[in-house]
Amino acid sequence: MSTLIKGGTVVGPAGAVPADVLIDGEIIVALFAPGTAPEGPEIIDATGKYVIPGGVDAHTHMELPFGGTFASDTFDTGTRAAAIGGTTTIVDFAVQRTGEVVPDGLAAWHGKADGNCHIDYAFHMILGGVDDESLKAMDHLVGSEGITSFKLFMAYPGVFYSDDGQILRAMQRARENGALIMMHAENGPAIDVLVKQALERGETDPIHHGLTRPQELEAEATSRAIWLAAVAADCPLYIVHLSASKALEQVRHARDLGRNVFAETCPQYLYLTLEDQLGAPGFEGAKWVCSTPLRSKHETHRADLWQGLRTNDLSVVSTDHCPFCFKDQKELGLGDFSKIPNGIGSVEHRVDLLYQGVVDGKLSLGRWVETIATTPARMFGLYPRKGVIQPGSDADVVVYDPHGRTRISVETHHMNMDHSAWEGWEIAGRVDTVLSRGEVISAGGEYTGRAGRGRYVKRGLSDYLL
Ligand code: URP
Ligand code: ZN
Ligand code: ZN
Ligand code: ZN
């Protein structure tokens, strides 16, 4: 079956051009100057709309075990919501918990995902225990399982934490086997001291989650990770969920020195704040407890992050989608902020939320597409199969209506959450039609995809390896 997406403006990192996109089966086969395509295929009318590669969300946590509970989206509900919001590939984090072996963690993740996804999916691996065995497993995952990136934690002692020696060993191994090290860069042991002191003072509200994770402890860990990577023969390093000006400074400095250091931020850090969301009255702020935390609106974080996206010191926007319901899940931390499960759910809204950068004149159209689709695909070895509209690529395509509007609410979203971190937001732009490998799975608000059609994608090495 062939389809022609006709009359739209195709957007990629290099800019926007009017073109018609011809799809044959699951693959994009040609781009034509407007009106020059052969007749015959099924037509999707994209007049007045943008035609962009489907979003690639490189940081999600479906069903993550955390804080005595599980992230509330399954691979079924979470990938369906992603698809409706214009994301056609996710890279989720398989988990080796401390005390568990890597192959078991990976098998468990395939068990959760396989047969349940609405869109294509891939995995990173969280290493919760760096030792001889897990380092050997790392080689196997890179060589045979299509898993070429590994997340380590400088935070959460006793849960996912690695000490500096473990981090160095994993980085040295990654330098040898071509993997990318992803870092949760917060100084966990220091944070734990501040948390204990706050609780002893009777400070139990959600805002203290943010106040006990000051940006200095994100910047310090970011800097330490950068120098450890230097010692590991310049192992490539990717800082996840960067939230703060001082951490960004460390990344910018490293990049100015030509270091192989990259970072992502997330929509919550571009828009939401410690005071307005995390500091909401009573226990309400629990909805916005995530790590790294939301930062103060009285400092320059948000403006600096937008600038970092423009200068490419931040190269990717992912969601860190890790939803928990308020009732029974966030409520585990009533009376003790340190027991609130960490995470915000936004997998459905990333494409729209970042489009506001275009509307507000903070990002070019090309940069929007680059940060939400093309660079994550290249960073994580999915390119050119994903993240670009060109002949030979998978026909993962979004027709985006710049004149439409999107209202975000728990009443209308598709994520398995009993609240929205973005409740009542009305924003410009709207996902109109979503194709995944040539199949229309969402059009004009009607969803026609199905669980199990999404395939596991084995990833190659990062394009950004030096
Ligand atoms: O709060 C967050 N980010 N939860 C998910 C786990 C992580 O550290 O990414
Ligand atoms: Zn295997
Ligand atoms: Zn993290
Ligand atoms: Zn995460």
CATH assignment of the domain containing 78: 3.20.20.140
372 and 407, same domain (yes or no): no
67 and 155, same domain (yes or no): yes
Asked whether residue 463 is domain-assigned, the answer is: no
Return the ligand 1 atom nearest residue 343 CA: 1
Structural domains of the chain, count:
2
CATH assignment of the domain containing 419: 2.30.40.10
Asked whether residue 164 is domain-assigned, the answer is: yes
CA distances from 146 to 143, 228, 372, 459 (A): 7, 25, 21, 4
Q: What is the pLDDT of residues 398-454, one digit of tens each?
A: 999 999 999 999 999 999 999 999 999 999 999 999 999 999 999 998 999 999 999
Q: Does the pLDDT of residue 151 top 90, yes or no?
A: yes
Nearest ligand to the C-alpha atom of residue 143:
2
Percent of the chain with pLDDT over 70: 100
279 and 414, same domain (yes or no): no
CA distances from 432 to 84, 86, 451 (A): 9, 9, 21
Residues forming beta bridges with residue 21, ordered by sequence position: 5, 31
Asked whether residue 348 is domain-assigned, the answer is: yes
108 and 25, same domain (yes or no): no
Cis ω for the linkage preceding 292 (within 30 of 0):
yes
319 and 296, same domain (yes or no): yes
Percent of the chain with pLDDT over 90: 98
H/E stretch holding 231: helix 215-231
369 and 252, same domain (yes or no): yes
79 and 160, same domain (yes or no): yes
Average pLDDT over the chain, rounded to an integer:
98
405 and 265, same domain (yes or no): no
CA nearest ligand 1 atom 8, residue: 291
pTM of the model: 0.98
Q: Does the pLDDT of residue 354 top 90, yes or no?
A: yes
Q: Does the pLDDT of residue 139 top 90, yes or no?
A: yes
* DSSP for residue 460: -
280 and 373, same domain (yes or no): yes
Return the ligand 1 atom nearest residue 184 CA: 8
Confidence of residue 1 (pLDDT cuts 50, 70, 90): confident
**Structural domain span for residue 14:** 2-52+391-447
**Ligand 1 pocket, mutate which of 127, 320, 340 (most atoms under 8 A from CB):** 320
Q: What is the pLDDT of residues 12-71, one digit of tens each?
A: 999 999 999 999 999 999 999 999 999 999 999 999 999 999 999 999 999 999 999 999
H/E stretch holding 23: strand 20-24
CA proximity to 271, closest of 349, 325, 200: 349
141 and 82, same domain (yes or no): yes
CA proximity to 330, closest of 69, 76, 79: 69
Q: Which of 351, 379, 407 is the C-terminal boundary of a domain? A: 379
Confidence of residue 99 (pLDDT cuts 50, 70, 90): confident
Cα torsion 373, 377, 383, 384 to 10°: value is -10
Q: What is the pLDDT of residues 318-342, one digit of tens each?
A: 999 999 999 999 999 999 999 999 9
One-letter amino acid of 31: L
Asked whether residue 246 is domain-assigned, the answer is: yes
Nearest ligand to the C-alpha atom of residue 318:
4
Residues with CB under 5 Å of ion ligand 4 are 320
Q: Does the pLDDT of residue 198 top 90, yes or no?
A: yes
Which residues, in sequence order, are CB contacts of 432 under 8 Å at separation 6+? 46, 49, 398, 399, 400, 401, 404, 443, 444
Confidence of residue 97 (pLDDT cuts 50, 70, 90): confident
Asked whether residue 38 is domain-assigned, the answer is: yes
Confidence of residue 167 (pLDDT cuts 50, 70, 90): very high
Distance 205 CA to ligand 2 centre (A): 45
- Residue found by looking up tokens 């739209």 in the block: 8
Distance 281 CA to ligand 1 centre (A): 23
> CB of 152 closer than 6 A to ligand 1?
no
Mean pLDDT of 345-356: 98
> CB of 341 closer than 6 A to ligand 1?
no
